[in-house]
């Protein structure tokens, strides 16, 4: 009787033992992620639950119970974004915020929409969905919105509502 044995390097397969491709590799509770640049706090993401899918080809983290994202400007002023659900795509540094998305600034401006994206690299906020912008003396509804991280340079594609104009 002859028996043949073969060995091959299946380290990736061994790593995946017990991990289904469609299941998160990590489930975490009470998340407090801080993003710093040049020793300055730039953003802080808070969430009651995170599902980490870094075992996928296109890695992402899911926040099924919503998030609070705090964005800091150069002076340390806070803008906050709240949503019922979010996905952070690791490779593109894009955050997809969905469900009752609310953005508030230190200037008391507020933006309401059903979905919004935050590009961490470009530090840009945008949506193609219907939006409502409330600012000092302004209450505008529209579709589509682009803004810098400080909410100082923004554009609404189609707008209608009450706008107060100061001379």
- Does residue 163 fall inside a structural domain? no
- Does residue 167 fall inside a structural domain? no
Q: Residue 80: which CATH number?
A: 2.60.450.10
Return the sign of the alpha-carbon dihedral for residues 38, 42, 47, 53: negative
Domain of 68 in residue numbering reads as 25-126
Q: How many CA atoms lie within 13 A of 131 on its CB side?
A: 28
- Does residue 67 fall inside a structural domain? yes
Long-range contact set of residues 42-48: C-beta below 8 Å, sequence gap at least 24: 42/71, 42/72, 43/69, 43/70, 43/71, 43/72, 43/120, 44/69, 44/70, 44/72, 45/69, 45/70, 45/88, 46/70, 47/86
- Split into its structural domains, the chain has a count of 1
Q: Tell me what pLDDT residue 74 has.
A: 83
Low-confidence ranges of the chain (pLDDT < 50): 5, 18, 165, 167
- Does residue 9 fall inside a structural domain? no
- Does residue 157 fall inside a structural domain? no
Host H or E run for residue 14:
helix 11-15
pLDDT digits (tens, 9 = 90+) for 41-66: 888 999 999 999 988 888 999 999 99
- Does residue 4 fall inside a structural domain? no
- Does residue 115 fall inside a structural domain? yes
Q: Tell me what pLDDT residue 12 has.
A: 57
- Does residue 153 fall inside a structural domain? no
Q: Exposure of 47 by Cβ count < 10 A (0-12 exposed, 13-18 middle, 19+ buried)?
A: buried
What percentage of the chain's residues is helix, strand, coil (to nearest 5)? 5, 60, 35
In this prediction the pTM is 0.77
Three-state DSSP at 160 gives strand
Q: Tell me what pLDDT residue 164 has.
A: 52
């Amino acid at each position: 009787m002859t028996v043949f044995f073969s060995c091959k390097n299946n380290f990736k397969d061994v790593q995946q033992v017990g991990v289904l491709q469609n299941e998160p590799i990590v489930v975490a509770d009470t998340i407090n992620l801080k993003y710093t640049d040049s020793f300055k706090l730039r953003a802080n993401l808070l969430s009651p639950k995170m599902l980490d899918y870094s075992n996928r080809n296109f890695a992402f983290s899911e926040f099924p119970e919503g998030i609070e994202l705090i964005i800091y400007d150069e002076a340390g002023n806070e803008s906050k974004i709240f949503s019922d659900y979010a996905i952070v795509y690791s490779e593109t540094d894009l955050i997809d915020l969905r469900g009752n998305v609310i953005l508030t600034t230190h200037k008391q401006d507020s933006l309401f929409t059903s979905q919004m994206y935050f590009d961490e690299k470009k530090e840009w906020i945008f949506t193609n969905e219907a939006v409502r912008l409330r600012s000092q003396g302004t209450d505008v509804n529209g579709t589509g919105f682009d803004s810098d991280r400080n909410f100082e340079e923004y554009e609404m594609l189609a707008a209608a509502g009450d706008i107060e104009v100061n001379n």
